[in-house]
Amino acid sequence: MNILIDATNIIPDSGGYTHLKELLKNYKTKEKEIIYVASSNNVINKLRINNKKVRYISNFFLNKGTFFRLIWQFFFINLCLKKNRCSKLFVLGGYFFFIKKIRVILLIQNILPLETKIFLQEKLYLIIKNYLLNLLYRFSISRSDGIILLSKYSKKFLGKKKIHFKVIPHGVQKNFFREFKKKTNNKKFKILYVSKYEKYKNQLNLVEACYNLKKKNINVSLTLLGLDKKKNFLNSDLYKFIKKVNSKFKDLIIIKNFKKNEKLIKIYPKFDLQVYPSKCEAFGLIILETIASSLPIICSNYPVYKEILKKNTIYFDPDNPDDIANSIKIYITNPKTKHRNTKNLLKISKKFDWKTCSRQTFKFIKELS
């Protein structure tokens, strides 16, 4: 029998999109089964994997907002399953909202709605949104036949009920791998943070940390890559503080959005360090790609990062700009520590590959009785 993948909440160029693309690209089977992918035209047109075993489904409801996607799930998904002779449904969004008639497997990629202490620090409309998602997530988890998690840390959100689950982390694309090379001492220490703008991503404290270093005559610059100059960012405390900082130290903080067809693999070699102060991630694909690229990295002390990086980095308190600044300073003043950790992390990154992720994912789905 066939499998339907509900990818209706996936957006292009996101971590979820990369995960889906690599699952399908590395999917191989000698069986007759077909994988159907339901998503928006934007995702499908970009996705188009050259695999005869993969087919695509889109319609009016899947090209609108969350409300219309939920209508499709509730009223039409069972018809879709029956029409395409699917015996199992694989949901990428962390929740589903329909009368369940077959086996459902859930992939939990976004754990923010489950991290109550963190989303309660957001603005009111985001608190309400994440609270509703929290209820929907927990409802879906309790009704799932199987759950795929990206990290061991995420197990805490499954509750006390016995649920069949498996931890299957991300992989990393082969073109990211680059052997470590010592850099000649530049006049300016270039720091990178790749992330979209959200309060929990914690750009504000990182900017303050770099500002404090600059005031102590430590020559750093910070590039925030992935910030889209939309209204919520332009009205934020972060944007106001960046303007203040740059008025005192020209080009200390550089704001960039992704350009079309811009590749991170070409960006990483231009920098000396990635600092990752985010307070919530299901896994951290950017972290994995960073260490594969031999770009040194330091992180917040969020438990997921310790699963990947072990003892091969410096962890800091993400709520303390002084602690972030001190951690950056250690890597600037102790290049031997930085070099040793970066070489060790490159070895770790080679244990994560998309072929294994894809094989384990579909094996888990198929073996679920």
* In the chain, alpha helices (H): 15-25, 41-47, 66-71, 77-83, 116-119, 124-143, 203-215, 231-234, 237-248, 264-267, 285-292, 303-309, 321-333, 335-349, 354-367
Q: Of the candidates 267, 219, 209, which has an alpha carbon nearest to the alpha carbon of residue 241?
A: 209
SS3 300: strand
Mean of pLDDT values over 194-199: 91
Whether 280 contacts 111, CB under 8 Å: yes
Percent residues over pLDDT 90 in the chain: 68
Give the span between the Cα atoms of 312 and 297, in whole angstroms.
9
pLDDT in tens, 125-162: 889 999 999 999 999 999 999 999 999 999 999 887 78
DSSP 8-state code for residue 199: G
Instruction: Report whether pLDDT(188) > 70.
Output: yes
H or E stretch at 222: strand 220-225
pTM for this prediction: 0.91
Is-same-fold flag (2-171+353-367; 174-349)?
A: yes
> In the chain, count of helices (H) and strands (E)?
15, 13
Q: Identity (one letter) of the amino acid at 245?
A: V
pLDDT grade for 93, boundaries at 50, 70 and 90: confident
**Please, what is the end-to-end C-alpha distance for the chain in angstroms?**
13
Domain boundaries, the chain: 2-171+353-367, 174-349
**CATH tag, 2-171+353-367:** 3.40.50.2000
Q: What is the mean pLDDT of residues 166-177?
A: 93
Model confidence at 12, pLDDT cuts 50, 70, 90, reads confident
Judge whether 301 and 347 are in contact, CB under 8 Å. no
Q: What's the distance, CA 144 to chain centroid?
A: 23
Q: Would you tell me how many other CB atoms lie within 10 Å of the CB of residue 193? A: 24
Cα pseudo-dihedral 119, 123, 129, 135, rounded to 10: 40
Report the distance separating Cα 284 and Cα 289, nearest Å.
9
Task: Using the structure block, give the residue that is written with the tokens 């299957």.
Answer: 168
**Average per-residue pLDDT for the chain:** 91
Task: Provide the β-strand partners of residue 57.
Answer: 38
- pLDDT on residue 287: 95
**Average pLDDT over every residue of 344-368:** 94
Q: What is the CATH number of domain 174-349?
A: 3.40.50.2000
pLDDT band, residue 35 (cuts 50/70/90): very high
Percent composition of the chain: helix, strand, coil (DSSP 3-state, to 5):
45, 15, 40
Q: In what order do the strands lie in the sheet with 2-6?
A: 54-57, 35-38, 2-6, 86-91, 103-108, 146-149, 165-167
List, for residues 240-289, the tens digit of each pLDDT value: 999 999 999 988 999 988 765 468 888 999 999 999 999 999 998 999 99
In this structure, which amino acid lies at residue 186?
N
